[in-house]
């Protein structure tokens, strides 16, 4: 097979590979990455692909496409494993098990580095703030987590507020308070903004909160009890009572949250379930001894990946699907996320994997397969959740496939290859005619593809003219498609070229469809692809009709039609995506102490005066140049600069 399909140059490259550990990558004629693999012996492993006749299997199909090979020699198999999964996660090869996670994990952030001594420059540094955080890590602050969800972070913040009463307000609010806020009144903040607590006492509360987050609860309680007794011995009964109240609140929290032993401060519990050609990995997190919740992950390309795994020896042939899926998740997930010292796993994982994680983390990482006691309870719970989440996914996918099939039947589309049915939907949004945006959402493979969504800023039109906005966005989106088709001259489009979807949905009736027809006619594209979603009588949900650009009569699908449910799902997603884009654009104008901070000539004192005078950034933005000039230190020139910067 290899002699008939592959070039002599490729086979010579395979024959010349060294017998060393490394990573190999296969590419097809379009230079698309097909597969990434690791080997302790590159020569033997890669050669096994080309020396056997794999027939019509998935691995045979992949091997027949290989036209180029890249290899990287490394020092050890553990290093090869890390490199392999870095490449899989960043380059998305077609025949590897792939876990995608579009969201970063949230953290609990405590600002500043002054928590240990209570000494800092600005008031915000003397009195650190705790906050929900998602994004890159800044060394000036301290981070605890990661947490599986925003809810878990916010619940932890509420617990710390009850016990240690740390502030959560923004620095701009903190610096301009003249009296304590409601959180102080309900005993959720100690009032550092108006000096109701000393920097030293607040720093102690910060240290205690961090100790609780690290799971050092026994030592924390003992230290607090000792402080209470010391205050009592000195006849400082009010201070002793405050510590006593903290101890009581902390004890209540520990009881309610079922804080576990010090041995289980930071643990990840991983359970895998495979059924119906799909898999689910359920990740539950324990941080500081608290069970924070879980998150489900579903790998893609499972069938193709399992079909092409080449094996080096009989030991690897014995690996089951569950073990391969779990190992793929562990290797890919902890590339970007800190790994805890203990992993509880439903399937045994390769010791080379934990060795690689240990090298990467700088401390020993252990994977326990058959735990006992509390750990066994956690793992059983994770396995149960994995089964529930996978059952939900299979049910949803079955329903979604039925909706796709129903829409194809209603529109007389081919019933073969429905997983490739591609739909794009457009919506226009603006604020009273200003800041017009168009959104485009994409549906294929029976689900919305959020990574392919696009937003377009619409310029050069009359404010509020939705038809002109639709003309502009359709032209910008599909003009490259028309150019690619013209260059192909009727031949098949090359890989990577822009393509026309099977359906183009526009949220609107005859007017918007007419506009889309004009654009497609000018570009020479197929009018049959355009479908408008027209509101029914009284604009009631379920009475929508489909309007066609090629002259076909309207179609009413029925309020309980599965096809209408899919159309409504895609249209509503386009509307949601458009609205979130508008809100984000407005937030950039409304929020931003950063906007004031970036204006030359506006320092901390002038910024504080502006915020106090107008009640916040929004008030400053709404102020006229004359209003701005009434603030001490703001000259006419500076007032004009501020006005221009905020508008």
* Nearest alpha-carbon partner for 505 in 448, 559, 432: 448
**What CA–CA distance (Å, rounded) separates 541 from 82?**
51
Give me the pLDDT at residue 440, please: 93
Alpha carbon 425 to chain centroid, angstroms = 23
Task: Pick the most confident of 109-113, 121-125, 146-150, 443-447.
Answer: 443-447
Placement of tokens 């966005």 in the chain? 473
Residue 343 confidence (pLDDT) above 90: yes
Domains of the chain by residue range: 2-91, 107-262, 263-390, 418-584, 591-646
Is it true that 263-390 and 418-584 share their CATH fold?
yes
What separation in angstroms does the CA of 84 have from each of 58, 281, 447? 21, 20, 29
Residue 133 confidence (pLDDT) above 60: yes
Which whole number is the average pLDDT over 416-428? Answer: 89
The CATH number that domain 263-390 falls under is 3.30.420
Name the more confident of 329 and 463. 329
pLDDT digits (tens, 9 = 90+) for 165-204: 889 888 888 888 888 888 888 888 988 988 888 888 898 8
Confidence of residue 415 (pLDDT cuts 50, 70, 90): confident
Which whole number is the average pLDDT over 414-421? Answer: 85
CATH 3.20.20.140 is the classification of domain 2-91: no
CATH superfamily of 418-584: UvrC, RNAse H endonuclease domain (3.30.420.340)
Structure tokens at 302: 């499972």
Confidence of residue 115 (pLDDT cuts 50, 70, 90): very low
Residue 589 confidence (pLDDT) above 60: no
**What CA–CA distance (Å, rounded) separates 250 from 14?**
64
Number of H helices, E strands in the chain: 25, 19
Query: Per DSSP, what are the bridge partners of residue 158?
Result: none
> Quick one: CA torsion of 74, 80, 86, 92, rounded to 10 degrees?
110
Confidence of residue 25 (pLDDT cuts 50, 70, 90): very high
Architecture of domain 591-646 in CATH?
Orthogonal Bundle (1.10)
């Amino acid at each position: 097979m290899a002699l008939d399909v592959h070039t002599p140059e490729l086979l010579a490259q395979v024959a010349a590979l060294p017998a060393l550990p490394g990573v190999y990558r296969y590419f097809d004629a379009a230079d698309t990455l097909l597969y990434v693999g690791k080997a302790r012996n590159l020569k033997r492993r890669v050669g096994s692909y080309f020396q056997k006749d794999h027939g019509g299997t998935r691995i045979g199909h992949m091997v027949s496409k290989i036209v180029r090979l890249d290899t990287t020699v490394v020092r050890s198999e553990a290093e090869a494993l890390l490199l392999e999964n870095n490449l899989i996660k960043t380059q998305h090869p077609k025949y590897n098990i792939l876990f995608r996670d579009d969201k970063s994990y949230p953290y609990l952030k405590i600002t500043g580095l002054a928590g240990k001594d209570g000494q800092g420059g600005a008031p915000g540094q003397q009195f650190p703030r705790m906050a929900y955080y998602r994004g890159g890590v800044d060394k000036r602050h301290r981070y605890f987590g990661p947490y599986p969800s925003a809810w878990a972070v916010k619940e932890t913040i509420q617990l710390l507020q009850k016990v240690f009463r740390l502030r959560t307000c923004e620095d701009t609010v903190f610096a301009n308070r003249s009296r304590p806020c409601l959180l102080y009144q309900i005993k959720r903040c100690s009032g550092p903004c108006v000096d109701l607590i000393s920097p030293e006492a607040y720093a102690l509360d910060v240290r205690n909160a961090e100790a609780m987050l690290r799971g050092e609860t026994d030592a924390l309680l003992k230290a607090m009890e000792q402080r209470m007794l010391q205050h009592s011995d000195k006849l400082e009964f009010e201070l002793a009572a405050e510590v006593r109240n903290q101890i009581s609140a902390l004890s209540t929290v520990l009881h309610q949250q079922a804080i576990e032993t010090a041995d289980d401060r930071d643990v990840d519990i991983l359970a895998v379930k495979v059924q119906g050609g799909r898999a689910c990995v359920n990740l539950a997190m324990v941080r500081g001894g608290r069970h924070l919740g879980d998150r489900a992950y579903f790998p893609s390309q499972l069938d193709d990946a399992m079909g092409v795994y080449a094996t080096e020896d009989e030991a690897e042939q014995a690996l089951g699907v569950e073990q391969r899926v779990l190992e793929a998740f562990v290797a890919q997930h902890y590339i970007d996320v800190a790994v805890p010292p203990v992993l509880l796993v439903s399937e045994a994982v390769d010791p080379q994997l934990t060795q690689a994680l240990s090298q990467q983390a700088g401390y020993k990482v252990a994977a326990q397969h058959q735990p006992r006691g509390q750990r066994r309870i956690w793992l059983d719970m994770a396995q149960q959740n994995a089964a529930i989440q996978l059952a939900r996914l299979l049910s949803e996918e079955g329903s979604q496939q039925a909706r796709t099939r129903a829409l194809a039947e209603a529109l007389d589309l081919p019933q073969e290859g429905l997983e490739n049915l591609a739909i794009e939907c457009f919506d226009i949004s603006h604020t009273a005619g200003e800041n017009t945006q168009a959104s485009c959402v994409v549906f294929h493979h029976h689900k919305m593809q959020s990574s392919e969504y696009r937003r377009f800023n619409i310029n050069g039109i009359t404010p509020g003219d939705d038809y002109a906005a639709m003309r502009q966005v359709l032209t910008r989106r599909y003009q490259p498609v028309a150019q690619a088709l013209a260059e192909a001259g009727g031949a098949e489009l090359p890989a990577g070229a822009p393509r026309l979807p099977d359906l183009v949905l526009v949220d609107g009736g005859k007017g918007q469809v007419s506009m889309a027809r004009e654009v497609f006619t000018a570009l020479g594209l197929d009018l049959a692809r355009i479908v408008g979603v027209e509101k029914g009588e009284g604009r009631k949900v379920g009475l929508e009709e489909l309007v066609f650009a090629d002259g076909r009569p309207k179609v009413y699908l029925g309020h309980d039609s599965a096809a209408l449910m899919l159309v409504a799902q895609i249209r509503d997603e386009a509307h949601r995506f458009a609205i979130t884009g508008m809100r984000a654009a407005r937030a950039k104008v409304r929020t931003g102490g950063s906007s004031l901070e970036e204006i030359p000539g506006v320092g901390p004192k002038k910024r504080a005066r502006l915020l106090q005078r107008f009640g916040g950034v929004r008030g400053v933005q709404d102020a006229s140049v004359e209003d701005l000039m009434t603030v001490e230190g703001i000259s006419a020139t500076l007032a004009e600069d501020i006005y221009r910067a905020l508008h």
